[in-house]
Structure 1
Amino acid sequence: MTSNPLNPSNGDEEPQDPLAEMLKNLMGGKGMGNIDPAELAKAAGLPDDPNLLAQMFSQVQAMMSASSEGPVNWQLAHENARRVAASGSDPSVTAQQSREVDEALRLAELWLDQVTGLPATGLIGRAWSRAEWVEETLGTWKRLTEPVANSIANALSTAMTEQMPEEMKAMMGGASSMLQNMGGAIFGMQLGQAIGALSAEVVSSTDIGVPLADLEMALLPSNVAKFGEGLSLPENDIRLFLAVREAAHARLFVQVPWLRGHLLGAIEAYARGIHIDTSKIEELARELDPGNPEGIQEALSQGVFMPQRTPAQEQALEKLETALALVEGWVDELSWAATEKLLPSAAALRETVRRRRATGGPAEHAFSSLVGLELRPRRLREAAALWASLKDERGVDGRDAIWQHPDLLPTAEDLEDPKGFSQRRQLAEASDSEVDDALQKLLNGGFDEPEDTQAAADDTGKADGDGDGGTGDDTPGEGENPKP
């Protein structure tokens, strides 16, 4: 006799209540005493359909029993990202595609040699599928989203616990920790959904302006082909232009070692300051239907963050937006300089990329709603104009020397007034030079005392006496009465 998975049986082939079985499993196989599962389900506002209960609790058990480190279930995030990435057309990279990407990136490096003083990276160009992009970048996504993800997971679990009926709270007992995991599981699934969807939009490892993969240079052939749809441009031109952008990003992050940490640190500082709208979380918990995961995901995708920002977060946001704009502006300027005379379609491709980066795709919007973080360079055009101005004024090497130290980077004010950057920089450098000279002079033996100061010191010494018969302060001078 075949058992019905939606209506499990015991050894006597007697149908068992799915809710009773679920709660028994949650409690380590122990019985439930005199508690009536049907009454418990009614108190919790759950449906009384056994089949619906079985399906619903199987989903809940999977979320709560999955292993997790910390508040967020990153295993579910990983699995969901891979599943979403593979849900569309994600064929494995062919040998021909790998060869085309490698050749495009090699040629891009040669073109960049003519327009920048930063040396080539020596990295091997790679072609990735969407699933491979997920694998290579998930570690960085975890780092960037963990502060927000932990806050949301804790808020979700707390809100769901508070909204749970008292009968259910007493029933859960020692299994409450598994209930707390549910918040992390829900957010992990949604985060994986967003990352998996983003894998269908990005064309390279640095497409969003952030080095998601450490020391890698890669294109996604299927997404490059999707990028070119409707442009009526040669496929090879599109691949070459995107390869130049990827190679420029890689060259900058490799040859300026502090930049990756600076950029990721700015993102983390901003993310740590995001405030969770607990009232919206509580509203979500009240309307939570464990049997409708799509509804939970839709609610989360609408955003659960307070629009107000603290002064510290405003400062972090300005730093982040300026850093993103400077990186993207430099890459935009170099890509144009490297391709304008070699690719007839360079101007059209440059404008297409600029608009795409300014608006973002659907998945990027979903990601920003979920974690409250936008990675679009709002001031790309201003930053590109600043780098072009610096090249005209200082030359290629002088322009790229700005990347030597984070203190040399242009500020948000400089993006508004590119022409005045050099003058402000010269004043700052002159001030720094004066401080350095003064410090060096002090280390070499101190400052020479002025002649009038030295003369005054000599007079004071004569007045005080030095034990060689000179007249001291207590000896009355001519015309003075002695002290008593």
Structure 2
Amino acid sequence: MIDWDLAVTAASKMSGPGPMISRGEAEAVVAELRAGAHRSTSLVRDYTGLVAEERSAPVLIVDRPGWIQANVDGFATIISPLVEKLQERKGAPSPLAEAVGSRVTGLELGALLGFMSSKVLGQFDPFHAPVGSETAGRMLLVAPNVVHVENELDVDPTDFRLWVCLHEETHRVQFTAVPWMRDHIHGEIANLVDSVEVDPAKLAGMLGEGVKRLGDLVRGNDDVSLLDLVQTPEQKEVVDRITGVMSLLEGHADVVMDGVGPGVIPSVAQIRARFNERRKGAGTLDKVLRRLLGLDAKMAQYRNGAAFVRGVMDQVGMEGFNKVWVEPANLPSKAEIGDPAAWVRRVHG
């Protein structure tokens, strides 16, 4: 249903090469990012109190095409149950329909990944599990994007690179020190796939309603993304649960990367201030695309999740906050992300 090779090719052509630097400079960036990733392990452990096995996932320093290929591999694995479900419902397509349809969806996915590939600084992929390997997950650091942003912000490169590494290392710790987290999120994704509507008549009705609301979305009158326009009530419940846990994970990582302190990253306050200001300065087209693709909602996850983590820590400290990792029932709901006191009352009594 998707021409994955075409998606990679199209995305790589759209992504652009990134900043032009010498081979020696590139090698220095790679070395510093790799060293920062390893240095971050003890810093995250000391700040959070979460103990994770060291080097449980490989650290990959990639360019934009490398990030694209990694995400295509991940998408192919995650959506394979959905593809099987659709094929069971519709039956095998004709060779011509399959060829044309797969190229169209490949180009669509390529356009999405091409846009995203110049924005992402780093990523932890918790579901990557090489055959025969004892490790699970992998950390990706997108070197050209890190260099581009540090130049754009005019901040200390060494501080900025460690700051980015701290964020992604925190995600590795979340999935390593909390052994049930990976299966929990994978289960929620499976629930989302199970709730996908494949009846053509119902799907057409959902799309029709979505088109009616698209104008409001583009004008910024509705706090939804393009995907929200075609969700069923069942999907919305699952998405709300996923939003709650993702806000927690992203907000926690943001708090850690800022909280490790100026003793480790002397210019951390300057970096955070300039980084937040940069998020506001996108052009009109960029803002529309971000809204359509749900990236504004992603930024809200960082803000709201960080406010939740700080709100809980203000009341019960880091040890009290860490009860969130004890079991899935302790995860905050989407509503509790906006009301830390409600989570404290429920979990701490």
TM-score of the aligned structures, taking structure 2 as reference length: 0.73
Q: Counterpart of 2:151 in 1: which secondary structure?
A: coil
Are the aligned partners of 2:62 and 2:143 in contact in 1 as well (CA < 8 Å)?
yes
1:126 corresponds to? 60
1:188 corresponds to? 106
Residue 98 (str. 1) matches residue 5 (str. 2): no
1:19-78 CA distance string (max 9 Å, x none): xxxxxxxxxxxxxxxxxxxxxxxxxxxxxxxxxxxxxxxxxxxxxxxxxxxx22233323
Classify 1:376/1:356 alpha carbon distance in 2 versus 1 (closer, same or farther; 3 Å). Answer: farther
1:329 corresponds to? 251
Are the aligned partners of 2:153 and 2:275 in contact in 1 as well (CA < 8 Å)?
no
2:168 corresponds to? 246
Matched AA of 1:88 = P
Residue 198 (str. 1) matches residue 132 (str. 2): no
1:81-135 CA distance string (max 9 Å, x none): 34444x5348889432221112222332232232111124422543212222223
Q: Counterpart of 1:342 in 2: which secondary structure?
A: coil
2:236 corresponds to? 314
Matched AA of 2:154 = S
Classify 1:233/1:374 alpha carbon distance in 2 versus 1 (closer, same or farther; 3 Å). Answer: closer
Residue 115 (str. 1) matches residue 47 (str. 2): yes
Which of the two has higher C-alpha Rg? 1
Q: CA deviation at 1:234?
A: 1.2
Classify 1:261/1:192 alpha carbon distance in 2 versus 1 (closer, same or farther; 3 Å). Answer: farther
Q: CA deviation at 1:257?
A: 2.7
1:376-403 CA distance string (max 9 Å, x none): 1534333323322433444433322321
Matched AA of 1:330 = H
Q: Give the Cα–Cα distance (whole angstroms) in 1 for the partners of residues 282 and 27 of structure 2.
A: 31
Matched AA of 1:72 = I
Tell which deviates more after alignment, 313-322 or 412-421: 412-421
| Matched pairs, number | 316
Matched AA of 1:205 = Q
Are the aligned partners of 2:62 and 2:140 in contact in 1 as well (CA < 8 Å)?
yes
Q: CA deviation at 1:211?
A: 4.0
Are the aligned partners of 2:18 and 2:148 in contact in 1 as well (CA < 8 Å)?
no
Are the aligned partners of 1:332 and 1:350 in contact in 2 as well (CA < 8 Å)?
no
Q: Counterpart of 1:205 in 2: which secondary structure?
A: strand
Classify 1:90/1:347 alpha carbon distance in 2 versus 1 (closer, same or farther; 3 Å). Answer: closer
1:479 corresponds to? none
Q: CA deviation at 1:351?
A: 4.5
2:7 corresponds to? 77
Are the aligned partners of 1:241 and 1:339 in contact in 2 as well (CA < 8 Å)?
no
Higher share in helix: 2
1:127-155 CA distance string (max 9 Å, x none): 21222222333222224455777899999
For structure 2, the 5+ residue unaligned runs are: 129-135, 209-224
Are the aligned partners of 2:62 and 2:142 in contact in 1 as well (CA < 8 Å)?
yes
Q: Give the Cα–Cα distance (whole angstroms) in 2 for the partners of residues 226 and 304 of structure 1.
A: 28
1:410 corresponds to? 332
> Following superposition, which runs of at least 4 residues in structure 1 exceed 6 angstroms of deviation?
90-93, 147-155, 279-282, 303-306, 355-365, 372-375
Are the aligned partners of 1:205 and 1:218 in contact in 2 as well (CA < 8 Å)?
yes
1:138 corresponds to? 72
Q: CA deviation at 1:236?
A: 1.4
Are the aligned partners of 2:207 and 2:230 in contact in 1 as well (CA < 8 Å)?
no
Are the aligned partners of 1:80 and 1:193 in contact in 2 as well (CA < 8 Å)?
yes
1:386 corresponds to? 308
Q: Counterpart of 1:228 in 2: which secondary structure?
A: helix
Q: CA deviation at 1:312?
A: 0.9
Q: CA deviation at 1:359?
A: 10
Q: Counterpart of 1:343 in 2: which secondary structure?
A: coil
Are the aligned partners of 1:72 and 1:187 in contact in 2 as well (CA < 8 Å)?
yes
Q: Give the Cα–Cα distance (whole angstroms) in 1 for the partners of residues 274 and 50 of structure 2.
A: 26
Are the aligned partners of 2:67 and 2:140 in contact in 1 as well (CA < 8 Å)?
no
Classify 1:109/1:421 alpha carbon distance in 2 versus 1 (closer, same or farther; 3 Å). Answer: same
Q: Give the Cα–Cα distance (whole angstroms) in 2 for the partners of residues 316 and 76 of structure 1.
A: 31
1:300 corresponds to? none
1:437 corresponds to? none
Q: Counterpart of 1:307 in 2: which secondary structure?
A: helix
Matched AA of 1:194 = L
Q: Indicate the percent of aligned positions where both proteins have the same amino acid.
A: 22
Q: Give the Cα–Cα distance (whole angstroms) in 2 for the partners of residues 248 and 139 of structure 1.
A: 23
Q: CA deviation at 1:363?
A: 8.2
Are the aligned partners of 2:250 and 2:301 in contact in 1 as well (CA < 8 Å)?
no
Q: CA deviation at 1:215?
A: 2.2
Q: Give the Cα–Cα distance (whole angstroms) in 1 for the partners of residues 179 and 258 of structure 2.
A: 24
Q: CA deviation at 1:410?
A: 1.6
Classify 1:273/1:90 alpha carbon distance in 2 versus 1 (closer, same or farther; 3 Å). Answer: farther
Matched AA of 1:405 = E
Q: Give the Cα–Cα distance (whole angstroms) in 2 for the partners of residues 149 and 272 of structure 1.
A: 11
1:289-343 CA distance string (max 9 Å, x none): xxxxxxxxxxxxxx99782532212212211211111111111111221134433
Q: CA deviation at 1:223?
A: 0.6
